[in-house]
């Protein structure tokens, strides 16, 4: 007997692959047209589309990407970005532009990093996912954007969904509505102060992505009273900076997995511009100059200034207990 929802899962996995590749094609096209000399570290590559067995996948992605690339321009888009009627690309051009994301990263100079769909598992469950882009210059994140199509615009309006978080170094952190035609103005974000009664953790849903049992112990050491908020993707960073949770805590599961720069670069500048602090679990700065991964950084801790130092101490204590 086949497992429950096997067909739904197959459809959803195929949809996410289409979303991943076509989003990377569209975003890399815009970046390539506007900043032609900037390299891109993108999560996806076109190898599966180029394979002999990849014809159906390739055709569908080319169709989807071209649908977006050739759609009539929105008020906030420009034809010089390679968008609008008449801007269709061939299959070869689409695969090449996806592979423009193959850059290996660098210590110096400027490059972009893209996660076309972050929180793949969340997307598959119909929950949170995000489209994430950051500009890194000389290893420092200068700009970050996290688009969350399924995130409520605030915790008090659960039915209104779709937010974009934007931060530019020294220019603040903002939340905008996802729809460019919405009259809502950008909201300037600052991580609020949490009391012992309101503090809680923001953590992954997937046990394979973070050691949730360790988070539980850290919460106990901190005297946290509220249950954790589990959410997929970098939407967690958006939730943190607008005060929907007090601490972002992500501890390695012990498999030797290295965190990818596209999973944290936009969140890093967003947290700092909202007045918070982001480091690894040992208090080391996240190093975006080592290539496609964060190298030896061990986990991620982000929170408001005072809370952050308390979390690092609690992590240390919980680790010592475990030794
Ligand atoms: N073993 C392991 N350890 C840590 N992280 C991992 C691991 N495996 C995958 N990933 C990355 O986790 C990204 C999703 O992050 P989240 O945990 O926030 O979301 S989710 O709950 O998994 O959806 C996810 O990003 P996407 O692939 O873009 O979804 C992965 O890059
Ligand atoms: Mg990701
Ligand atoms: Mg992804
Ligand atoms: Mg992935």
Give 322 or 201, the one with higher predicted confidence: 201
- In the chain, list all ranges with CATH 3.40.190.80: 201-322
CB 268 within 8 A of CB 144: yes
- Cα–Cα dist 260/291, whole Å: 9
Give all strands (DSSP E) within 204-308, no chain letters: 229-230, 247-250, 276-279, 300-304
Task: Quote the ligand 4 centre to 21 CA distance (angstroms).
Answer: 11
Could you report the per-residue pLDDT of 297-307, keeping only the tens digit for each?
999 999 999 99
The ligand whose atoms approach the alpha carbon of 262 most closely is 2
Which of 74-78, 111-115, 233-237, 272-276 is least confident?
Answer: 74-78
**Best of 19, 206, 211 for a ligand 1 pocket test (most atoms within 8 Å of beta carbon):** 206
Closest ligand 1 atom number to CA of residue 123: 23
Rounded distance from Cα 292 to ligand 3 centre (Å): 13
User: What does the DSSP assignment read for 165-227?
Assistant: EEEETTS-EEEEESSTT--PPPEE--PPP--TTT--EEE-S-TTTS-HHHHHHHHHHHT--SP
User: 2 pLDDT band (50/70/90 cuts)?
Assistant: low
* ipTM for the complex shown: 0.93
Residue 280 appears among annotated catalytic residues: no
CATH of domain 201-322: 3.40.190.80
Q: Could you tell me which residues are annotated as the binding site?
A: 43, 115, 117-118, 263
For 20-51, the pLDDT digits (tens) are 999 999 999 999 999 999 999 999 999 999 99
Q: How far apart (Å, rounded) are the C-alpha atoms in residues 138 and 130?
A: 25
Nearest ligand, measured from the Cα of 209: 1
Of 46, 49, 14, 10, nearest in space to 28 by CA: 46
**Does position 252 have pLDDT exceeding 80, yes or no?**
yes
Whether residue 20 lies in the annotated active site: yes
pTM over 0.90: yes
Instruction: List the residue whose alpha carbon is closest to atom 10 of ligand 1.
Output: 209
Query: What SS3 class is residue 70?
Result: coil
Residues lining ligand 1, judged by CB closer than 6 Å? 43, 115, 118-122, 204-206, 208-210, 232-233, 253, 255, 257, 260, 263
């Amino acid at each position: 007997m086949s497992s429950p929802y096997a067909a739904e899962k197959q459809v959803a996995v195929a949809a996410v692959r289409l979303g991943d590749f076509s989003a990377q094609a569209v975003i890399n096209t815009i970046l390539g047209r506007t900043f032609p000399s900037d390299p891109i570290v993108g999560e996806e590559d076109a190898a599966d589309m180029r394979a002999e067995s990849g014809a159906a996948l390739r055709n569908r992605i080319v169709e989807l990407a071209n649908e977006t690339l050739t759609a009539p321009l929105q008020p906030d888009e420009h034809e010089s970005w390679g968008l609008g009627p008449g801007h269709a690309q061939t299959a070869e051009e689409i695969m090449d532009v996806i592979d423009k994301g193959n850059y290996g990263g660098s210590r110096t100079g400027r490059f972009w990093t893209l996660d076309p769909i972050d929180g793949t598992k969340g997307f598959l469950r119909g929950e949170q996912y995000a489209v994430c882009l950051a500009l890194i210059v000389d290893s420092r994140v200068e700009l970050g954007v996290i688009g969350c199509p399924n995130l409520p615009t605030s915790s008090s309006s659960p039915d209104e969904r779709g937010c974009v978080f934007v931060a530019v170094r020294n220019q603040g952190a903002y939340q905008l509505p996802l729809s460019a035609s919405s009259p809502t103005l950008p909201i300037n974000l600052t991580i609020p102060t949490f009391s012992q009664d309101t503090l809680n953790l923001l953590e992954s849903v997937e046990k394979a992505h973070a050691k949730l049992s360790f988070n539980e112990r850290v919460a106990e050491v901190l005297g946290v009273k509220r249950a954790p908020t589990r959410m997929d993707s970098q939407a967690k960073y958006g939730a943190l900076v607008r005060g929907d949770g007090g601490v972002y805590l992500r501890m390695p599961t012990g498999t030797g997995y290295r965190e990818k720069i596209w999973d944290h670069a936009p969140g890093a500048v967003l947290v700092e511009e909202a007045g918070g602090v982001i480091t690894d679990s040992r208090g080391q700065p996240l190093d975006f100059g080592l290539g496609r991964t964060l190298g030896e950084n061990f986990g991620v801790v982000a929170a408001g200034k005072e809370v952050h130092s308390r979390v690092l101490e609690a992590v240390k204590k919980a680790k010592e207990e475990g030794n």
